[in-house]
Amino acid sequence: MFLPDFDYHAPETLAEACDLVRDLGPSAKVLAGGTDLLIKLKHGLVTPTAVISLKALDELKTITHVPGRGVVIGARATHNDLVNSPLLHERFLSVSEAAHKLANNQVRNRGTVGGNLVNAIPSADLPPILIALDAWITLVGSNTSRTVPLHSFFTGPSCCVIDPVDEILTEIVLPDQQTTGSTYLKFALRRSGALSVTGVAVAVTMDGDTIVDSRICLGAVFPVPVRANDAEDLLRGKTWSDELLAEAGEAASCCALPITDIRGTAEYRLDLVRVLTKRALKRAITEGHV
Amino acid sequence: MSETVKQDHAVIGKSVPKIDGREKVTGAARYTADLKFPNMLFGKILTSPFAHARIISIDTSEAEKIPGVRAVITHKDAPTLKYGISPARWDENIFCIDTVKFVGDKVAAVACIDEQTCYKALAAIKVEYEELPAVLDPLHATDEDQPQIHPEFVRNINAEIHQDFGDVEAAFKDAHYVRTDTFVGNRTYQTPIEPHTATSMWDGEKLTVYSSTQSPHYFQYYIAREFGLPMGDVRVLKTYVGGGFGGKLEPTGLEFGGAILAKITGRPVKMFYDRAEMFAHNRGRHRQYMTITSGVDKDGKILGVHADFVMDGGAYTSLGIATAYYAGAMLTLTYEFDNFRFDMLRVYTNLPACGAQRGHGAPQPRYAFEAHLDNIAKDLDIDPMDIRILNARRPNTTTPNEFLVNSCEMKACLEKAREISGWDEKKGNLPKGRGIGVATGSFVSGAGYPIYRTDLPHAAAMIKVGEDGTAATLYTGATDIGQGSDTVLCQMAAEAMGYTYEQMKIVAADTETTPHDFGAYASRQTLMSGAAVKQAGEEVKAQMLEIAAEMLDFPAVDLDIREGKVFSPGNASVTLTFEEVARHFFVNRGPLVGKGSYTPPKLGGKFKGAAVGTSPAYSFAAQVSEVEIDEETGEINVLDVWDVHDCGTVINPALLEAQVHGALFMGLGESIWEEVKFDDKGRILNPNLSEYRIPTAVDMPVVHSALVDSYEPAGPWGVKEVGEGATLPTMGCFRNAIFDAMGVSINSLPLGYEKVWRALKERREEGPAE
Ligand SMILES: Cc1cc2nc3c(=O)[nH]c(=O)nc-3n(C[C@H](O)[C@H](O)[C@H](O)COP(=O)(O)OP(=O)(O)OC[C@H]3O[C@@H](n4cnc5c(N)ncnc54)[C@H](O)[C@@H]3O)c2cc1C
């Protein structure tokens, strides 16, 4: 278990970082908190000759509200930055809560939002809630900058649309929105430091007891975080009731295509999707952004 | 808790701070892997990637050419003498010779100038294998068509046990009700937080090994035997040990390999396992298939029990022959019945060898038996608490397998657990999804016989009082692996001498400087090492009194010593300090030294395997737990656990409670989450702490730990064990609480959320019973 030798860069500006990413090409890896990358390096799963640390880019660490854009989360914000952000507590407590369900305190102190997204494992905890809140992200290259809706960011396990030899993920934006409630339920086999067996995030827009709209995103049950469109359609415009939410749960499990692995069977995960979806909906409907 | 402590003790019975607490908490404590020696090399072991394969050739030439590599060794460089727990089952070589028998079997080793170079060297060793079919299913290991793992052990049978006491068939015939259940206990791993390490070095023909071990003595014995050295030329010692739980009781390969590499290179060699290598070396808990049949009368009184088990031993015997005997032997302790039959088959498979893990062989059978008893209670409509109290063992009784039980407060433990848990109010009245369960446990306070045949005393101790009497040093072979034996033994020494704990120093677990002791296993040190320490302390005190009598010109019989003061109970004007007397002693008579040793009485019956499970004393415990089950997901939420222990006199209440908490922590993990999983090639799928899930602090339930009054005549000051016994009831207790909450029986460990979910689903699909 040893880190291999590599050149280490810690650029002072984003432009410098982007140039390095472009110039060093596939032989380099971007380093944020390192909670995923260092493990891969030690196991020899990736063998870069250079590592570009983002640690000097403090402008990527802030969480602010920008009128007209929404809540802007810097890619280098750590999970505990999300957990402790007064702005998130006020607007989207559900995001703080989701971050708090991730890993353990040590990892939350180091791991970043950007790393969680670019790492793109199907069981990652932040993508479902961010997708449910309709987040989009900014990818900056040496000469480019583009925005991508998060729901179309992931392309497969450990795969996403970022151009690894040109782009850096700089920010995640939660647009100003009409949603009245959101939540993320994580089901794991221990209270701390356990990856999700299944995770379900929902965001709802209510008008009294009527569900105007909803977004449901499932984690760990598909190669990428996946929207439960059938369940969303079923709910749209209806007055909510426990029976309706139970039906939505059934519909959501039809949208999942889980695998059997060391943490649980596909059969179990499908049923968890059903249960977690109805519970998450009820929470978001009755308790707001939690 | 203090009510059980006799008031006339000055030092024992108090929660004095741990003697090494400051070092550990501040990070100053140096563990074996922290030790550095001039010119020290690093060593690593190359292991087999196959579960079963023939070694065609090993080519080390490329590895030897790598700069920084100092030695590469294989079986050709090592003694070929096999080792293991008992001569009939010495089945393991230092390095594999012809075949590898599990993924992780040891093939070669390297010593290099740094750790990085070791990995390069390991990768450069070319081993040509011919893969063989592997035995991975213990239930089919004895089938005719299965490959043979050890030629000497036909049909892969490592051990077969048949013990029969009383007349079980007749008991079943007379019984009002007979029931059979089958349960499965799974492979778990000790997971000590400190990885195994050994640093070996030679000084001429003398070998010194610093090891993170539970028993320097056994390591010394095994190493001397392998290398044909006199025991006196092998010194094994430890610094601080970060937990063992049974996994550091037998040689790890690091000591043997390190000794050879150090000899060849003439330099100290540090060898260690990383987390995955620890899992691969393993020696954790066996997988056991346990069928139990019991007959009871109409009140639920147990008349006879038949335990029929199969155990997956893995590729070697390890300590597993003892485990196999313990699995049955310990079933007779907590409840009284006269008729008992025990059949056991321990089979070889091409999986890592299993050994001793906290509670050695007993916790899974205890889970099975406690679950089985709840099934019987339910069938007969008896309260689970009542059926246990009805059958509870009484003091001064003998088990069918001839264990003498002196002190035994099993019934009092159950009654107290009933009371403090609110059992009677809760049973049957808890809200939906909640349940309450009870189970018992009992464990040896030290094994009646040593691991290898020898007439050495089990424990010995020496106390040397400093020249000016301001300090005294206890020399003991007892091994503190975190449980706190250094602390309690110093308390005991001070108590026996009439001294203070704060002035005690300790030198422990060094085969050269400390007197012999078998070490930390079988929950033996408080009773056995403690008995030797008490004797040594009393010898010091007697010498002190004799010379104090001279100094004071006062009869020794009228003098006493307590907390560093020499005094006469009848005459307040007669006083001296311990220091004054000790100094006077040294000036006039030379070193003030006390010695003690302990050998247990001859114990047990004459039948085959009668020795395993014998002990001078047994602890008893009852546990009640309350759980909440999520009916839809199967999630198990453990709310509260009440543990009531009969462990004799308590030396240090805080450390005792820490043992109960620690045992419960381990028991909780094994009950609900922990399981070493394999793929279809015999490779471990989860050799890490992220997918092998031990509990975290936030998973711990509220623990209520209580004691009952008890005094054990066989123990110094009336002590007996607590360290392992507290693990025993836990798994059965949780199973029974889930059974109470949901009415479903989880018949294999770990109980697991998905298993509960599946059981509930199957019941729904079957429709309501009757
Ligand atoms: C013990 C443990 C428990 C864990 N538990 C969980 C859990 O419960 N839930 C969960 O979701 N995750 C968990 N993780 C995974 C991990 O902690 C998270 O995914 C974390 O958010 C990764 O962030 P990081 O900053 O450490 O990423 P890094 O390791 O630094 O990077 C990860 C990947 O993203 C790339 N990258 C990082 N930042 C950027 C950027 N701004 N632009 C472009 N590329 C970038 C890196 O090149 C690398 O490929 C756990 C990890 C550990 C070690």
User: Could you report the per-residue pLDDT of B709-760, keeping only the tens digit for each?
Assistant: 999 999 999 999 999 998 999 999 999 999 999 999 999 999 999 999 999 9
Structural domain contains residue A23: yes
At position B298, the amino acid (one-letter code) is: K
Which residues touch A86 (CB under 8 Å, ≥6 apart)? none
Per the structure, the complete domain to which residue A13 belongs is given by: 7-53
Q: Do B116 and A265 touch (CB under 8 A)?
A: no
CATH top-level class for B32-132+195-241+248-281?
alpha beta
In chain A, which residues have their Cβ closer than 8 Å to the Cβ of B665? none
For residue B624, what are the β-bridge partners? B438, B642
CA distance B27 to B50: 40
Q: What is the pLDDT of residue B4?
A: 44
pLDDT at B767: 77
Q: For residues B132 and B130, what is the distance between their CA atoms, to the nearest angstrom?
A: 6
Q: Is the pLDDT assigned to residue B3 strictly greater than 80?
A: no
Which of A142, A174, A206 is at the close of a domain? A174
For B590-604, write each residue's pLDDT tens digit: 999 999 999 999 999
Residues of chain A positioned with their CB less than 8 A from the CB of B115:
2
| Last-in-domain residue among A174, A192, A210 | A174
Task: Give dist(CA B369, CA B377) in Å, integer.
Answer: 12
- Quick check: is A47 in a domain? yes
CB contact under 8 A, B696 and A192: yes
Q: What is the pLDDT of residue B769?
A: 55
Mean pLDDT across B560-576:
94
CB B348 within 8 A of CB B102: no
For residue A195, the chain B residues in CB contact (below 8 A) are 690
Q: Which residues contact B146 (CB under 8 A, 6 or more apart)?
A: B135, B140, B155, B156
Please check the confidence at residue B575 and state whether its pLDDT lies above 90: yes
Residue with tokens 């469109």: A229
Residue B164 distance to chain A (closest CA, Å)? 41
In a domain, A19, yes or no: yes
Cα of A118 to ligand 1 centre, how many Å?
Answer: 8
For B650-708, write each residue's pLDDT tens digit: 999 999 999 999 999 999 999 999 999 999 999 999 999 999 999 999 999 999 999 99
Whether B80 and B127 have beta carbons less than 8 Å apart is answered as: no
- Chain mean pLDDT for chain B: 96
pLDDT digits (tens, 9 = 90+) for B12-41: 999 999 999 999 999 999 999 999 999 999
Counts of helices then strands in chain B (DSSP H, E): 18, 28
ipTM above 0.90? yes
- Does residue A255 fall inside a structural domain? yes
Q: Which residues' Cβ are closer than 6 Å to ligand 1? A: A 29-37, 54, 75, 102-103, 107, 110-112, 114-116, 118-119, 124-125, 162, 168-169, 193, 195; B 690
- Residue intervals of chain B classified under CATH 3.90.1170.50 are 32-132+195-241+248-281
pLDDT tens column, B496-549: 999 999 999 999 999 999 999 999 999 999 999 999 999 999 999 999 999 999
* Cα–Cα distances in angstroms (integers) from residue B246 to residues B318, B659, B663, in the given order: 11, 15, 13
Return d(Cα A98, Cα A83) in angstroms, integer: 8
Whether residues A89 and A16 share a domain: the answer is no
Average pLDDT, integer, range B81-105: 95
A40 lies in a domain? yes
Distance CA A238, CA B623 (A): 51
- CA dihedral for B166, B169, B170, B174, sign (positive or negative): positive
| Phi/psi of residue B554, nearest 5 degrees | -140, 140
* Residues B706, B194: Cα–Cα separation, whole Å: 30
CATH number of the domain within which A91 lies = 3.30.465.10
Q: Is the pLDDT of residue B5 over 60?
A: no
Average of pLDDT values for B191-195? 97
C-alpha A281 – ligand 1 centre gap (Å): 28
Second CATH level (architecture) for the domain B362-446+615-765: 2-Layer Sandwich (3.30)
Residue pLDDT, tens place only, B520-535: 999 999 999 999 999 9
Is position A1 within any domain? no
Phi, psi of B422 (to 5 degrees): 70, 35
How many Å apart are CA B457 and CA B535, to the nearest integer? Answer: 13
Interchain CB distance below 8 Å, B761 and A263 = no
Q: Strands B287-296, B177-185: parallel, antiparallel or unpaired by DSSP? A: antiparallel
Considering only residues 175 to 234 of chain A, which have any Cβ-Cβ distance to chain B shorter than 8 Å?
A: 187, 189-195
Q: B142 pLDDT exceeds 60?
A: yes
Whether residue A219 sits in one domain with residue A134: no
**Which secondary-structure segment (H or E) carries A123?**
none
Domain at A31, CATH number: 3.30.43.10
Instruction: Tell me the CATH class for B21-28+450-598.
Output: alpha beta
Contacts of A191 in chain B (CB under 8 A): 696, 698-699
Pick B693's closest partner by Cβ from A104, A194, A271: A194
Output the pLDDT for position B7. 59
* Residue A2 belongs to a domain: no
Residue A137 lies in a domain: yes
| Residue ranges of chain B assigned to CATH 3.30.365.10 | 21-28+450-598, 362-446+615-765
Number of domains in chain A: 3
Q: Are A271 and B757 a contacting pair at CB < 8 A?
A: yes
The reported pLDDT for the residue numbered B2 is 38
Q: Rounded to whole angstroms, what are the CA distances from B264 to B39, B78, B670?
A: 14, 11, 43
Amino acid A4: pLDDT? 87
Distance CA B48, CA B36 (A): 30
Mean pLDDT for B81-91 is 92
A194, B632: Cβ pair inside 8 Å?
Answer: no
- Is pLDDT above 50 for B6? no
Last residue of a domain, one of A174, A189, A204: A174
Per-residue pLDDT of chain A (290 residues; tens, 9 = 90+): 688 899 999 999 999 999 999 999 999 999 999 999 999 999 999 999 999 999 999 999 999 999 999 999 999 999 999 999 999 999 999 999 999 999 999 999 999 999 999 999 999 999 999 999 999 999 999 999 999 999 999 999 999 999 999 999 999 999 999 999 999 999 999 999 999 999 999 999 999 999 999 999 999 999 999 999 999 999 999 999 999 999 999 999 999 999 999 999 999 999 999 999 999 999 999 999 99
Same domain, A223 and A160: no
- A145 and A201 co-located in one domain: no
Do A68 and A125 reside in the same domain of the chain?
yes
- Judged by a CB distance cut-off of 8 A, whether residue A47 touches chain B is no
Residue B171 buriedness (CB in 10 A; 0-12 / 13-18 / 19+): buried
- Do A94 and A30 fall into the same domain? no
Cβ-defined contact of A190 to B695 (cutoff 8 Å): yes
Task: Dump pLDDT digits (tens) for B381-434.
Answer: 999 999 999 999 999 999 999 999 999 999 999 999 999 999 999 999 999 999
Residues A196 and A223 in one domain: yes
Same domain, A48 and A74: no
